[in-house]
A and B are shown apart, each in its own frame.
Chain A
């Protein structure tokens, strides 16, 4: 069964450092997403991406965040200068189409900022 793959599973970084979280969506999917879940809290939408551009972003997704699909298979989330409050689980998801089809989630990357 096809799946969304995220790497690394766990990343520890120093405050102020840049991190790149990587995702390989399911190959025939057209829409890609990043979500964040701070420990013990609900899952929050960060950004959606379609046709090589951002479709929608939340207020959390400020100038410190960027997304890219550099080579047609990977989908990355970059945080330029990490803060302690960026510590969270980051989920990548993809779907064939928007809205009416299932979004498949990766297993998540646990980001710890120290």
Chain B
């Protein structure tokens, strides 16, 4: 079974600064996908960024980028130029690309990000 661990229950950052959220995972699979989801106070789940395990290049989406270290099974999220609207709970998630797990997402425990003006 796959597990996802987020070791930082809470993080804070000053507006316009950069923050990195950590995530590690454990799997015996070689083909999988990793995601970061944002959950604002409304509790809607919003996809922030996706990484394919077969790609060596780290994914980027505007101010959001990841540092994917496949051998270390690490998948951190970097938020640059933090904005007040980035304040939310962030979840790291894993899904197998094949096999019998039909798109089942496994989530980490979440990291609450506070952005200070």
A45 and B43 within 8 A (CB): no
A56 touches which of B35, B50, B93, B101 (Cβ 8 Å): B101
- Residues of the B chain whose Cβ atoms lie less than 8 Å from the Cβ of A44: 107
Chain A interface size, under 10 / 10 to 19 / 20 to 34 / 35 or more = 20 to 34
Q: A42-B109, A42-B110 are in contact. Are A95 and B91 (CB under 8 A)?
A: no
Per CB-CB distance, the 4 closest pairs between chain A and chain B, nearest first, are A98-B103, A105-B45, A55-B102, A43-B107
**Count of residues in B whose CB is under 8 Å from the partner chain:** 29
A48 to B95, CA, bound (A): 13
B residues lining the A interface (CB < 8 Å): 32-33, 35, 37, 42-47, 50, 52, 91, 93, 95-98, 100-110
Q: Is the CB–CB distance between B47 and A56 below 8 Å?
A: no
Contact residues in A for B45 (Cβ distance below 8 Å):
43, 91, 93, 105, 108
Q: Is A70 interfacial (CB-CB < 8 Å)?
A: no
Chain B residues closer than 8 Å to A103, beta-carbon distance: 47, 95, 103, 105
Contact B102 A56 (CB under 8 A): yes
In the complex with contacts A48-B102, A91-B45, A103-B105, A43-B91 CB distance below 8 A:
yes
Residue pair B47, A50 in contact (C-beta under 8 Å): no
Q: Which of A50, A89, A102 contacts B102 (CB 8 A)?
A: A50
Instruction: Tell whether, in the assembled complex, residue B97 and residue A108 are in contact, meaning their CB atoms are under 8 Å apart.
Output: no
Which one of B43, B44, B108 lies within 8 Å of A42 (CB-CB)?
A: B108
CA distance A45 to B105 in the complex (A): 7
Q: Across the interface, which residues of A come within 8 angstroms of B97, CB to CB?
A: 99-100
Check: A65 CB closer than 8 A to any chain B CB. Answer: no
